[in-house]
A and B are shown apart, each in its own frame.
Chain A
Amino acid sequence: MNATVFGLCGAMAAGLGLYGLITDAQPLRKILGFNLLGAGAFLSFGVVARRGAAAGFGGDPVPQALVITGMVVAFAATALAVALLLQLFNTAGAATLDTNATSEGNDPPVT
């Protein structure tokens, strides 16, 4: 039953992503952690799809299609998050979520 192995794998990737999302101070690492969390969730759902193999298909096509849609939406959200982060870096001079650090910094350069 190989699906079980990958189910554990997905659950662990999701847990590791959650840990990175909360504990890492750097915004880019938070985005990375969130993507790992998402990928783990997709993989778990993929195992559910595999268990639903029937009617000559290797897996239930409905969860598979939902995962494909989810991956595209995850990319769109990541692209927006990265654009916001780079904008923060350009205006505040540092990519940090620490409000004390940015308010004491230099005036934002006018771009």
Chain B
Amino acid sequence: MTIGFALDSAIAVLVVAVSCWTIIARASFAAVVGFVSFGLLLTLVWVRLDAVDVALTEAAIGSGLTGALLLAAAARLRTSEFATQAERPSMALRVATALLSATATAALAGALFLLPSPAPTLAPAAAANAGATGLGNPVTNVLIAFRAMDTMLEKVVLLLALVGVWSLASDRFWGGPPSPLRGANTEGPLAFLARLLTPLGIVVGIYILWEGADHPGGAFQGGTILAAMWLLLMMSGVANAPATRFRSLRLVLISGPMVFLVIGLGGLWLGEAFLAYPVAYAKPLILVIEFVMTLTIAVTLALLLAGPPTREASR
């Protein structure tokens, strides 16, 4: 208990220190580095909170992909950074904001302390219905079955975000490939690493997807690892970013939400409810949804990071 408490306190102090650094650091690049460390520390916190599924997602998406996205943006904007640094808000505004933030923190912390005890929980309900799907991981159960609507809509949000990013392309480049993430240097150590790591990464990604049925893991975490592998190939110049007009690419992008929707409507048609899986076929249907969804997540996340098309589509 005491060692655990000391460890937790140390992690908590580090998390607060790193989030302070993220806000006060002068250079944006340093601030983003702070944010990435914040994400990695948060991963430890999630493990300590017994939420390993969330820890995997935090490491992969919250820290990894968001970090890569923001680091690239910070490097790109470095030249204009010092011009905007002059625009500091007045002292009065900063003091007022500090008071507002302190109030928000106090309110949030107070709300957590004033929660009713014993805490309301849906864990018994999730445990009681676990047999209906044949999956052992309660979080996967909630994501794919009990609250499948959230997960389906979230796939639509990902798609809308990608449409938003692509629509920033100028007319000339519509349908073309995004800019290469890095000057193609096919002889460097990065290319060697990409060739070595990608096969392993693909196996790990699929393993995490498959294990997600009974252990921590699942479509989000596996899909993010696959996305990272594809990004590594693109960054090292081993693979080129695809032209966004390819029909097969767009089919992969919409296949995740479409399969979800079709199976959901099937549940409605077969008499029970939207997204209700017939009990006899629950497990195979969930597997189909998860596999298609993993592919869609991987491709969507990688393309979100690659940005809008910036080159003409070759005909």
Contact = CB atoms under 8 A, between A and B. Distances in A.
Nearest to B218: A68
Contact of A68 (B54, B81, B120): B54
B83 A96 contact: yes
Dominant secondary structure at the A interface: helix
A5 B8 contact: yes
Interface string B263-298: 000000000000000000000000000000000010
A84 B121 CA distance: 40
Given A3-B49, A9-B16, A89-B76, A69 B143 contact: yes
B66 A89 contact: no
A53 B126 CA distance: 12
B151 interface: yes
B48 A2 contact: yes
Chain A: number of interface residues, binned into ranges: 35 or more
Interface string B215-244: 000001000000000000000000000000
Sorted nearest first, the 4 A-B pairs with minimum C-beta distance are: A58-B50, A52-B121, A15-B105, A76-B161
Given A61-B122, A76-B158, A89-B77, 16 more contacts: A2-B8, A9-B16, A16-B19, A18-B101, A22-B93, A23-B89, A25-B84, A36-B22, A46-B49, A57-B123, A57-B126, A79-B165, A82-B70, A86-B307, A94-B84, A101-B83
25 contacts: A6-B49, A11-B105, A14-B108, A20-B22, A25-B85, A25-B89, A26-B28, A26-B81, A32-B35, A50-B49, A52-B123, A55-B127, A57-B127, A61-B123, A61-B142, A62-B147, A67-B57, A71-B54, A76-B160, A76-B162, A76-B304, A79-B69, A89-B77, A95-B84, A96-B83
